[in-house]
Amino acid sequence: LRESHIAELKNGGTLAARLNLMNMKDRLGYALDPEITKGLNLEIGDMLQICAVSKYYQESASVSEKIVEVEAPLILIEAAPVISTPIGDTEEKEKQSIVVALSGEEFQLITQAGKIAALKAAVLPVGYKVVQTGTFDEKMENLMAFLQIKEVK
């Protein structure tokens, strides 16, 4: 199909059509903040692992430092396929979002996590065997624990 024909589809544009044509009818297109993927030269079809990183302070075991900053990572999304990448020169691309395909539950996790922690993405190698790191409920509980840690410390 030519791009002009895809854009003429009713009930959606080219991203909606791409989800359909890539056999991802049960997925949502989600635009990641450019900071999340900064420095990654991504292409359509790349897979991203997305992690929430919460920073908080705690007492140190060291005698020289009383309080230390701690980063606690939590894998939210094991493998999100990239479905759209920025266009233009390097400077323009850095200001634009990467779009990934997410399930409804992943969408809920990432939108909630963005309010609590910094989000980071990493590219997965071709052929990477995806390992589930927990159920939606377990991940949501861990995310809420992040919020409680930040409030307590």
What does the pLDDT read at residue 80? 93
What does the pLDDT read at residue 149? 54
CB atoms within 10 A of CB 135: 10
What does the pLDDT read at residue 47? 93
Q: How far apart are CA 117 and CA 138, in angstroms?
A: 17
What does the pLDDT read at residue 144? 75
DSSP one-letter string for 77-115: EEEEEEEE---SSHHHHHTSPEEEEE-HHHHHHHHHHHH
- % of residues, the chain, pLDDT over 90: 17
Of 90, 112, 115, 92, nearest to 102 (Cα)?
112
Asked whether residue 74 carries a pLDDT value surpassing 50, the answer given is yes
pTM: predicted TM-score of the whole model, two decimal places: 0.72
- pLDDT tens digit string along 44-62? 999 999 988 876 655 666 6
